[in-house]
């Protein structure tokens, strides 16, 4: 899992360098390494494209003048999206790009070029290379790129072991950092959204053991469009490509809180209801990746009462995917049985961000917060209105486990003695309700 360091700072203060933070996380069981853009890119600055004219001897090249805050440089650029007036990332002659590539003056089709207008791939932010990286207009020419803007893309890649589903999110990783450093943890504040209560939603499940909890709600009057820049930046830093505000909201909540959700185009549901059941022999489903799957009784489905619309806990169906024409959506936030999800995914050779989390054991209580977070963002970023109540089908409630931890066992496992007050602090910081009993 890739986490954005800037995103982590929403939940906990971070003073360490990326390398120091990776070492800290590795020491507490979350193996981490720095990936993506280096945290220092000496000499690479914010630039302003003053002019962008056609190259005199090449149809696909442009001859640009770039102001770096102190002087103006002539630069030949082949990016189709470069234009006058843009703020860009400028690598002047003498600066060094990732990969130890030192910029030199060059002649391109007979014209001298002094520097480079950078793409995201040249900065190791993403693999995007078909155009230059265009920055917000309010940045100041000449400022160091990493200090002024590039820090948002500093990332770590974590190897999360199967026993740590709680760490499969930015909030979860931040909780561990806070506990390890004795800093304040600032979790999300989740509030419910007022419903108009003019629509109803029917949810039925054939076997609660397969799907112990399913939450759904209907949101109407959504407007599909691009996501705000802050969301695009965070998704990009976490290795995700922005698609549109509806898809991005679901992906964002997954990375933020760790709980998978799904957004169906409600108008594409044939019977306007949700029915969770095992697949029947002969059924098929085309998933969002446009792959068609022949199904059998080992797989768990979400249906609209008649037609399969998703492979539960793994991936949604293509026929009910949101599009630019979507006006109404059904929000799903559920808890699917880990074994059932694993069998479904494995039988179809699928491994998704959602299935990874459900297979390891998502938090049944996280389904509520996941639902309300998605609905809130649909309201704020897409103008949506919740028109149904939150329908929470939870027939066999899962109770919290109680664990007895003996002092002798703790000392044996750790190999050294930890003061009781420190044990208390760690447990509290990690969110455990606990009490002591003298024996």
Please spell the DSSP secondary structure of 147-207, one letter per residue: HHTGGGG-EEEEE--TT-GGGSSHHHHHHHHHHHHT----------------B---EEES-
Q: How far is CA 25 from CA 31, 211, 353, in A?
A: 6, 33, 21
State the average pLDDT over residues 45-49. Answer: 98
CATH architecture type of domain 203-393: 3-Layer(bba) Sandwich (3.50)
Q: What is the CA radius of gyration of the chain?
A: 25
Model pLDDT, residue 356: 96
Print burial letters for 161-179: b (CB count within 10 Å at least 16), e (below 16). Answer: eeebbbbbbbbbbbbbbbb
Length of the chain as a residue count: 439
Give the Cα separation of 149 and 141 in Å (integer).
Answer: 12
Q: Which pLDDT belongs to residue 127?
A: 87
DSSP symbol at 281: T
Mean pLDDT value of segment 146-160 = 95
Q: Are strands 203-205 and 274-278 parallel, antiparallel or unpaired?
A: parallel
- 371 — pLDDT class (breaks 50, 70, 90): very high
C-alpha to C-alpha distances, 72 to 48, 67, 114, 291, 430, nearest whole angstrom:
9, 4, 10, 51, 53
CATH number of 2-36+154-181: 3.30.56.10
Residue 40: what pLDDT? 85
- In the numeric block, the tokens 């420190």 are attached to 422
Q: In CATH, which superfamily holds the domain spanning 45-151?
A: Nucleic acid-binding proteins (2.40.50.140)
Say whether 203-393 and 2-36+154-181 share the same fold: no
- DSSP, collapsed to helix, strand or coil, labels residue 212 as coil
**What does the alpha-carbon distance between residue 385 and residue 217 come to, in Å, rounded to a whole number?**
11
State how far the alpha carbon of 66 is from the alpha carbons of 116, 214, 397, in Å.
Answer: 10, 55, 63
The pLDDT-based confidence of 36 (bands split at 50, 70, 90) is confident
pLDDT digits (tens, 9 = 90+) for 182-236: 999 999 999 999 999 999 999 999 999 999 999 999 999 999 999 999 999 999 9
- State both tokens at 326: 């979507």
Task: Say if residue 439's pLDDT is above 70.
Answer: no
Domain residue spans of the chain: 2-36+154-181, 45-151, 203-393, 404-439
305, 336 contact by CB (below 8 A): no
Helix, strand, or coil here: 385? strand
* Separation between Cα atoms, residue 351 and residue 302, nearest integer Å: 18
| Higher per-residue pLDDT: 59 or 361 | 361
Query: Residue 133 and residue 402: Cα distance in Å, rounded?
Result: 51
170 within 8 A of 256, measured Cβ to Cβ: yes
């Amino acid at each position: 899992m890739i986490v954005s360091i800037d995103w982590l700072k929403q939940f906990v203060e971070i003073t360490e360098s990326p390398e120091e933070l990776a070492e800290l996380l590795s020491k507490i069981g979350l193996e981490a390494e720095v990936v993506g853009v280096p945290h220092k890119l000496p000499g690479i600055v914010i630039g302003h494209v003053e002019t962008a004219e056609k190259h005199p001897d090449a149809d696909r090249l442009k001859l640009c003048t770039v102001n770096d805050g102190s002087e103006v440089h002539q630069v030949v650029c082949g990016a189709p999206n470069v234009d006058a007036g843009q703020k860009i990332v400028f690598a002047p002659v003498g600066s060094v790009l990732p990969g130890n590539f030192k910029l030199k003056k060059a002649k391109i089709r007979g014209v001298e070029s002094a520097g480079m207008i950078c793409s995201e791939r040249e900065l190791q932010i993403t693999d995007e290379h078909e155009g230059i990286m265009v920055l917000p207009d309010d940045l100041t020419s000449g400022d160091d790129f990493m200090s002024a803007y590039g820090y948002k893309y500093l990332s770590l890649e974590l190897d999360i072991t199967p026993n740590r589903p709680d760490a499969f999110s930015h909030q979860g990783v931040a909780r561990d950092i806070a506990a390890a450093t004795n800093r304040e943890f600032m979790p999300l504040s989740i509030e419910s959204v007022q419903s108009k209560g003019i629509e109803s939603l029917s949810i039925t499940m054939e076997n609660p053991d397969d799907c112990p909890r399913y939450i759904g709600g209907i949101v109407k009057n959504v407007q599909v469009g691009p996501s705000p820049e802050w969301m695009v930046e965070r998704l990009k830093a976490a290795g995700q490509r922005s698609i549109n505000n509806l898809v991005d909201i679901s992906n964002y909540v997954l990375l933020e809180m760790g709980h998978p959700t799904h957004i169906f185009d409600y108008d594409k549901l044939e019977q306007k209801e949700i029915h969770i059941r095992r697949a029947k022999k002969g059924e098929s489903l085309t998933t969002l990746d446009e792959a068609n799957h022949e199904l059998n009784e080992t797989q768990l489905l979400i249906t609209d009462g008649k037609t399969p619309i998703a492979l539960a806990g793994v991936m949604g169906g293509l026929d009910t995917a949101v599009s630019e024409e979507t006006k109404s959506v059904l929000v799903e936030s559920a808890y699917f049985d880990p074994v059932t999800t694993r069998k479904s995914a494995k039988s179809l050779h699928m491994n998704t961000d959602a299935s990874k989390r459900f297979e390891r054991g998502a938090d049944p209580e996280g389904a509520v917060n996941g639902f309300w977070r998605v609905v809130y963002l649909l309201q704020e970023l897409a103008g949506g209105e919740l028109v149904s109540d939150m329908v929470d089908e939870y027939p066999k409630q899962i109770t919290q486990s109680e664990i007895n931890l003996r002092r002798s066992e703790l000392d044996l496992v750790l190999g050294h003695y930890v003061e009781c007050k420190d044990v208390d602090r760690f447990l509290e910081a990690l969110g455990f309700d606990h009490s002591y009993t003298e024996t």
